A and B are shown apart, each in its own frame.
Chain A
């Protein structure tokens, strides 16, 4: 059930994204922050989709994570340079939609957006519907999205790892590969933020079992069949079939239902069964 609902959402999403991405490609008038927001949303949605896969593609996940990091850096630099938001349109949108919690993107694209006529003089009219439809993503959201997909890619190692070629006199332990970074300091901050989220996620899952009482775990298992005295357990008849025993067994209804009628039938059949057993056992 969850799968079906999710699929429908994704296909709606795909249609809308196709419209948005062609708007991105064709329209020159989309503002830079808006384009960036659009790309960011696409990245995060992709990362989310990959997380649902059994085996996410490492290469693609890393590329998308890098793109998100790049956008994140840009946004941080902008916010540190200018305390006031650059695009008032975006700020307005964020006020309106702070209540939005679901990560999915439900869009209502007006029909005029993708066409050439749309990007005439009035920029506002083009941007507003797109703005309204884009989810405002926080810095922490981005970090946690990156860290969660990358952690998923950390497979359990094989039991017998390959022999390491002994390097000539080099005894240093492995260091993470960090070249290609522009801002080392921010990196540490980012790592800190990610670690916070990383540990948050881990502790959340391990304490889950400790918090629940044993009974709560099994709450949703239906044990009514075993609780009731009146309901007959499904009996296996003895292997020597005699005509006398077969007939009542054929009329033997299943006792899973808890309706009154069935209980009645169960009762009478029980006594008959006892009777039959007495005959068979010869007591």
Chain B
């Protein structure tokens, strides 16, 4: 099993797609509840596996192009087949996943095993009939969108018109039409004429699903910070690793190294302003982070790491890009951390919990025990000290079912699925 690099539920939550470092996509399907197997509802089993991207070699630049899948995005279902977009650093592909559970029998010109029949043996005409067969799931590439990105693609996002989508690399964002592969429109370009003046990069982009004209890009973020907490690493830790609009469209969430911030976009029914989807300059959204409540600051994910920033910089962990996600009702947000920990924050109730995704703590049907990291010298029982955290076990990718409380957590090369226990 390879390292999982992206996790995404489809619009109904029945399908869960994962992409890995080896260019493979594995799709899980939720089992339907049946009378004979009442407990199996909620289980996800492998539905389809296919090789989406292969390693390539760019001869012009003498560079190897990794096959690692950076992002998967589902398209809404319009017919019996499912469609998804998957991308590596350079090329985006549209895949069609379709089921075949019938096959035709009784051909006139060929036998059951495919051999052509002798013409004189055909004495009568018959209509082929459809017979059931074992379910077969086929994945076929329908479109390949290539050669539009000089830098590494980090995001793709489907527009609410379901006909166009955007792809973002470090310096540019392109707009595509799903039917057209030989042309894309560059809508954002932050590459300076002189590369020496480059100070920011695009790290994530997402379409807002109401306002078609809004597109968010997140670059290195400048935010007025409390001077006492400013450090040499402020620049690096304030870099946004992920941005996600809420399902309602009212809020936006950004993940930086140490915290998650929720931003309020719609103030008093004003249309979203200032983002024009055209170059040269890309203005910033002048919105203020909304605190969870008036008194509580934005939730820190792993504030205890602030005292370790130099070591984390030295071993490059400070560059880890954590993702974040909303639950279906936008009441809770989730993000990953180190030591295979992940955190959920309930916005209204002001509750947060740290959980661990590991084999030891994940017996089937067992309730996950909350974990705690201790920062002071005295360690209580069951607490983990900051120094004993395993920084190689990082949960970068998480996904939340669009309607139910089911979460998918990718811990290196294992996928964990957790469900709210219903009593």
Contact = CB atoms under 8 A, between A and B. Distances in A.
Contacts of B280: 172-175
Interface stretch (B71-79, B96-104, B143-151, B205-213): B143-151
Given A54-B63, A177-B281, A164 B196 contact: no
Contacts of B233: 39, 67
Interface stretch (A91-99, A148-156, A211-219, A235-243): A148-156
Contact of A55 (B63, B174, B278): B63
A274 interface: no
Contacts of B185: 162-165
Interface string A61-72: 011111101110
B18 to A, nearest CB: 23
A156 B60 contact: yes
Interface stretch (B6-14, B308-316, B341-349, B353-361): B308-316
Q: Chain B: interface secondary structure?
A: loop
A35 B192 CA distance: 32
Contacts of B198: 62, 65, 150, 153
B319 interface: yes
Nearest to A165: B185
Interface residues of A, number: 59
Nearest to A180: B222
Contacts of B62: 54
Contacts of B189: 174
B49 interface: no
Contacts of B196: 146-147, 150-151, 191, 194-195, 198
A167 B309 CA distance: 43
Interface in B214-266: 220, 222, 232-233, 235-236, 239
B61 A18 contact: no
Interface string A1-38: 00000000000000001100110110000000001101
A163 B172 CA distance: 13
B314 A18 contact: yes
B183 interface: yes
A250 interface: no
B183 A163 contact: yes
Contacts of A55: 63
B187 A165 contact: yes
Interface in B269-291: 278-282, 284
A151 to B, nearest CB: 6
B412 interface: no
B190 A150 contact: no
B236 to A, nearest CB: 5
Contacts of B192: 176-178
A230 to B, nearest CB: 43
B194 A21 contact: no
A155 B62 CA distance: 12
Nearest to B172: A162
A59 interface: yes
A124 interface: no
B147 to A, nearest CB: 6
B236 A25 contact: no
Interface in A144-202: 146-147, 150-151, 153-158, 160-165, 167-168, 170, 172-181, 191, 194-195, 198
Nearest to A147: B196
A195 B196 CA distance: 9
B161 interface: no
A76 interface: no
A58 interface: yes
A210 to B, nearest CB: 26
Contacts of B170: 58-59
B241 to A, nearest CB: 10
B151 A66 contact: no
A42 B194 CA distance: 25
A165 B309 contact: no
A180 B197 contact: no
Given A25-B307, A177-B190, A163 B184 contact: yes
A267 interface: no
Given A173-B280, A177-B282, A156 B148 contact: no
Contact of B279 (A25, A71, A174, A194): A174
B311 A59 contact: no
Contact of A42 (B175, B282, B313): B313
Interface of A: 17-18, 21-22, 24-25, 35-36, 38-39, 42, 54-55, 57-60, 62-67, 69-71, 146-147, 150-151, 153-158, 160-165, 167-168, 170, 172-181, 191, 194-195, 198
22 contacts: A39-B310, A42-B310, A42-B314, A58-B152, A59-B201, A59-B203, A62-B199, A65-B198, A66-B199, A67-B232, A67-B233, A69-B199, A70-B235, A155-B151, A160-B147, A163-B185, A165-B175, A165-B278, A172-B280, A175-B193, A176-B197, A179-B222
Interface of B: 60-63, 147-148, 150-152, 170-171, 174-175, 183-187, 189-201, 203, 220, 222, 232-233, 235-236, 239, 278-282, 284, 307-311, 313-316, 319
Please give me the 9 A-B residue pairs with the lowest Cβ-Cβ distance, nearest first.
A176-B192, A24-B310, A154-B195, A165-B185, A167-B278, A21-B310, A21-B314, A39-B232, A147-B196
Given A25-B310, A55-B63, 11 more contacts: A21-B311, A22-B311, A24-B311, A35-B232, A39-B233, A151-B196, A155-B61, A162-B148, A162-B186, A177-B197, A177-B200
